[in-house]
Amino acid sequence: MAHVLQQIVEEKHRELARRKALRPRRELERECQAAAPARDLAAALRPPPGGVRLIAEVKRASPSGGVFTESFDPASQARAYAAHGAAAVSVLTDEKFFQGSLEHLRAVRAQVELPLLRKD
């Protein structure tokens, strides 16, 4: 597994360099300022006395487990998590190793009001 993690880290360094070359920092900052306010993840994760909070994860595949299901529906999965009490949803957006996409994140956001984590 350490070998796979090293491959992921190396690929992320290359990907980040490519993305930085394609989009000026100021443009990204403007987009962030214009975006809707973030949901309060820290507050969502504060457990009630004697309780716990859960971050549920939406992912199509993993390097070690392969594709989990061919009928992957991230929005439906996130709705089910929200209905069953998840405090937040983590969405895998990495394409190469987890077969994710930004579209998965957008689809989840359109369906649930919970705080989201983008795992890339």
Tens digits of per-residue pLDDT, 37-52?
999 999 999 999 999 9
Q: Quote the CA–CA distance of 108 and 100 in Å, as a whole number.
A: 12
pTM: 0.88
Q: Which residue has the higher pLDDT, 83 or 20?
A: 83
> Is pLDDT above 90 for 2?
no
| pLDDT for position 1 | 63
* Same domain for 71 and 49: yes
Residue 77's domain spans which residues? 39-119
* Same domain for 93 and 72: yes
Cα dist. 47→38, 51, 58 in Å? 20, 5, 22
| Segment 24-41 mean pLDDT | 92
* Same domain for 99 and 45: yes
* Same domain for 55 and 22: no
> Is pLDDT above 70 for 60?
yes
* Same domain for 55 and 16: no
Q: Quote the CA–CA distance of 74 and 67 in Å, as a whole number.
A: 14
Q: Number of structural domains, the chain?
A: 2
**What's the chain's average pLDDT?**
95
| pLDDT for position 101 | 97
* Same domain for 75 and 89: yes
pLDDT in tens, 5-27: 999 999 999 999 999 999 999 99
* Same domain for 48 and 11: no
Q: Rg of the chain over CA atoms, in angstroms?
A: 16
The H or E element spanning position 116 is strand 116-119
* Same domain for 12 and 45: no
Nearest-10 crossing angle of helices 74-83, 102-111:
40
